[in-house]
Structure 1
Amino acid sequence: MPSTTPPTTDARRSTPLRRPDFVRLWCATTASGLATWAMPFILGLAVLHGSLSAVALGLVLAGRTAGFLVAVPLGGVLADRHPRRAVVLVAGLTAAAATPVLALGLDTSTALMTLAATVVGVGQGACRPAFQALTAEVVPVEERQQANAALTFSVRGVTLLAPGLTALAATVTGPGTLLMATMVLWLAAALLPRGGTLATEERPERRPFHVEFLEGLTEARRHPWFLSGLAALTTVIALGYSATNVLLPLAGRDHYGTEAVLAGALTAYTAGALVGALLMSRWRPRAQGLWALFGLGLYALAPLSLAFPVGAVVVFAAYAVVGLGVELFNVPWFTAAQREVAPDKLARVSALDFLFAYGFAPVGLALIAPAAQAFGFEAVLLACALLCVLAPALAALAPGARDFRTPRSP
């Protein structure tokens, strides 16, 4: 593998955590991440309490996903047209306003809950590209890798700690109160960010929505490494991630006879991701793009470890390495986009990232189980593992993929 370049003295001394604007942004993204994660978990508790049926849960979560996917491109255009701080404010307040309606619908109306969840999804989707662009505004270039590592560390920390905290809170209060607590989190996400400037100060004219969105697509096409990397990421999420999410519980039941393998594997994945985020906060490898794609390709270990009864410890180790590899990709990926993409189009390109990476995941989730029934459990897992290796390997051949840098014209 390529050797690494040690950070400079200035890089060691400077840190985005000393910048008040970034700390507020970090707290806001952490709050939005916790609110996003908590909602399906709380609704799952409502099913256990008998205040929500399993069918209603599926409809409500489908509504949230639909709202998210619709709002991501809209949020990207708005965040390049208006101050990113204002877009985050409106998106967070939208999600916060819909949350009490969601709580009100418990035990009363599935339709009302689905509508409210869709609006929450709209707020969630609109703020994602705005947060990415706002990070580039409040953090200088030399500190953005540390900033992105800190942001992803908070996401993984929420995933690790929130289940226990939510379950503990559920012992003293009900799902409705817990949902109202997520409203407070959305208010924090809306009100905390400060700083940032209008990225479109030199573009006062406004064009139709579809024209501005296509401008973002045109900007993305200027960066071959981005398109190839996004194709690889979409493949890994739609096939590898979906396969392991659907088939991991079945592997735990059939190979090991216990659901503990599911909990252990997910915990190991999160722990590995935390280690990966800490590593990428300091590590500046040469050929950073190749290292990132190598980390993405490590996801093949997850379906590979489930294909055969290799022992629970091997599964846990594989998931820990996969989690580390995901952050080996994520942090340089976000940092490179913030560096290479034109600032006035960054939110729209980030919206494309989220739209493709997460938009195809439901397709994978829907197709994996029928494919496993038709072709066999092991065959599907092995095919997913192979594609998780091939997609990043092909992406590494794109111009600029070595360093995630766009080749400049002479």
Structure 2
Amino acid sequence: MLWLSFTMSVAADQIFPVTVTIAALNAGGTASTVGAIFTCRWIALIVFALLGGLWADRLPRRTVMVASLGFQCCVAAVGLCGNASPWLLALLVFLVGGAEAFHRPAYQACLSSVLTPAQRPAGAALTAVSWRLGAIIGPGLGAYVVTAWSAGIGFLAVLTAYLLGLVLLLPLREPVVTPGRRASAVREIADGLSEVVRRRWVLGVIVAVALQQMLTIAPAQVLLPLVSRETFGGDAVYGTALALLSVGGLAGGLLSMRWKPDRPGLAAIGGLALYGVVPLALTWPVSPGFVDACYIAAGLGLEIFAVQWVVNLQREIPPERLARVTSVDWLAASVMTPLGLTLTGPAGAAIGRPALLAIGAVAGFAVPLATLLLRGMTRFQSDVSAFGGDSDPEAATSLKYGHGS
């Protein structure tokens, strides 16, 4: 039920931006208007990320997810009114992003609690499969629905998907994680940060992913459509490459359901470093096939990394702090991604596109691989004791089965 609910949420998340984009353009907006509207999502994630993790650790995770999806249903219902102004659309995007900041950490922590350690790799892989299937199917489906009917029907599809996700959560039974002693919000957020800092491999991965987002992934997102038009004379390579990135990710998720590497950290970091081939492909776009192959490899590597990262984070972090650690990861990426998107244009004008892509390629490979020098990185394992002095993170809390509400 949890995975099906997440899949519905992903479907809504993919249809929603397409619906908002077309609604904004129908209201007389420009490309700059659309860009400003979606900046609101990043602002919301940055503002609410740590609070989302905090409350997902304080309350039953199912309760947080139900509340988040219910709120997103209300936001989507506002879009059904029709003729939404760009200002209203920006507000809707901000509100949906804020709810997402609560839902995602709660989902990751709940997934860890309802699965046994042996089941967690399959659970993380299914999550990756949901993401990639949504990325492949969602935008095209959203565009078809909105183009064939109207933006209002698009918002209705979003509302329906969020509502289905909510309903699927209602019968869910989750273990109740007994929280530690309640403290101030600032202190509890600091406790989550301390779990990151105490484990060098966790801190190293979060920093590496954030830097790669800014230096490699964001510039590639901006420059791919330009390379597609200037080198290949149209947008076909742009659309195909993005679709194949998701296809590669889908393959990586399916592979990770069966593959259990002896050194999960080494496999994960190797997968993350594969994204360095993307700026190389954009620097020397010798053929559409070469670009497509590089995007498939990058997608494959990203999901191999994502599954190993999630599974080993669930193993290492005490359950009552897992959502807060997840939110720190989200916050770092949410800060650095829009920064990279914003700086790509000025940086490309200042040093030239080839130099910018060269920096992206070097960073794509070097930043993740440098983390292998950190202690415990190759195995995603630390030698610190769990909170409270127990060496087994899963024994650090008392779990009892029953309704999570």
Q: TM-score, normalised by structure 1?
A: 0.89
**Aligned counterparts of 2:80 and 2:358: Cα–Cα separation in 1:** 42
Aligned match of 2:380: 404
Gaps of 5+ in 1: 1-23
Per-residue deviation, residues 71-127 of structure 1 (Å, max 9, x unmatched)? 2211100011111111111111111112222343x5343333322322211111110
Q: Which of residues 73, 81, 90 in structure 2 aligns to 1:96?
A: 73
Describe the superposition over 1:274-306 as per-residue Cα deviations: whole angstroms up to 9, x where unpaired. 111111110011111011101100100000110
**Aligned partners of 2:263 and 2:378 also within 8 Å:** yes
Residue equivalent to 2:175: 197
**1:125 and 2:95 aligned:** no
- Between stretches 367-376 and 107-116, larger displacement belongs to 107-116
* 1:273 corresponds to: 249
- In the alignment, the residues of structure 2 paired with residue 71 and residue 202 of structure 1 have an alpha-carbon distance, to the nearest angstrom, of 21
Deviation at 1:228, TM superposition (A): 0.6
Q: Which amino acid aligns with 1:321?
A: A
Distance 1:225 1:287 in 2: 13
Question: Gaps spanning 5+ residues in structure 2: where?
Answer: 386-390, 392-405
Q: What's 1:85 paired with? A: 62
Residue aligning to 1:211: 187
SS in 2 for 1:226: helix
SS at match of 1:297: helix
Give 1:358's aligned residue.
334
**Structure 1 counterpart of 2:395:** none
Q: Does the residue aligned with 2:176 lie in a helix, a strand or coil?
A: coil
**Counterparts of residues 44-63 of structure 1 (less than 5 Å):** 44-50=21-27, 52-63=29-40
What is the CA deviation profile of residues 53-75 of structure 1, one whole-angstrom value per residue up to 9, with x for unaligned ones? 54443343222322222222111
For 1:295-351, what per-residue CA distance to the aligned partner results, in whole angstroms no more than 9, with x for missing partners?
A: 100100000110123111100001101110101100000001111001110000000
1:209 deviates by 1.1
User: Superposition RMSD on alpha carbons, in Å?
Assistant: 1.7
CA distance in 1: counterparts of 2:31 and 2:78, whole angstroms: 19
Q: Which amino acid aligns with 1:198?
A: V
Give secondary structure in 1 for the equivalent of 2:173: coil
- Tell me how far apart the structure 2 counterparts of residues 55 and 179 of structure 1 sit (CA, whole Å): 22
1:387 aligned to 2:359? no
- Distance 1:196-1:252 versus aligned 2 partners, 3 A rule: same
TM-score if structure 2 supplies the norm length? 0.91
Deviations along 1:361-409, whole A, 9 cap, x unmatched? 0000000111111111111001111011111111111111111111246
Report deviation, 1:207.
1.6
- Matching residue within 74, 93, 108 for 2:51: 74
Judged with a 3 Å threshold, the aligned counterparts in structure 2 of structure 1 residues 108 and 323 are, in CA distance, closer, same or farther, namely closer
Residue by residue over 1:215-235, the C-alpha shift from the partner in whole angstroms, topping out at 9 and shown as x without a partner, is: 000011121111111111111
The answer to which of 390-399 and 55-64 deviates more is: 55-64
What CA distance in whole angstroms lies between the structure 2 residues aligned with 1:225 and 1:334? Answer: 13
Deviations 1:110-162 (A, max 9, x none): 33332232221111111010000000111100110111001110110111112
- Maintained 8 Å contact 1:225/1:399: yes
**1:102–1:117 Cα contact (<8 Å) kept:** no
Identity over aligned residues, as a percent? Answer: 33
Shift of 1:180: 2.3
Task: Measure the CA separation in 2 of the matches of 1:202 and 1:48.
Answer: 47
Q: How many residues align?
A: 384
- Structure 2 distance, partners of 1:403, 1:82, is 32
Task: Give how far 1:37 is off.
Answer: 1.8
Looking at structure 1, the residues matched to 85 and 347 of structure 2 have their Cα atoms a distance apart, in angstroms, of: 35
Amino acid at match of 1:363: L
5 Å-filtered alignment, 1:155-194, equals: 155-193=131-169, 194=172
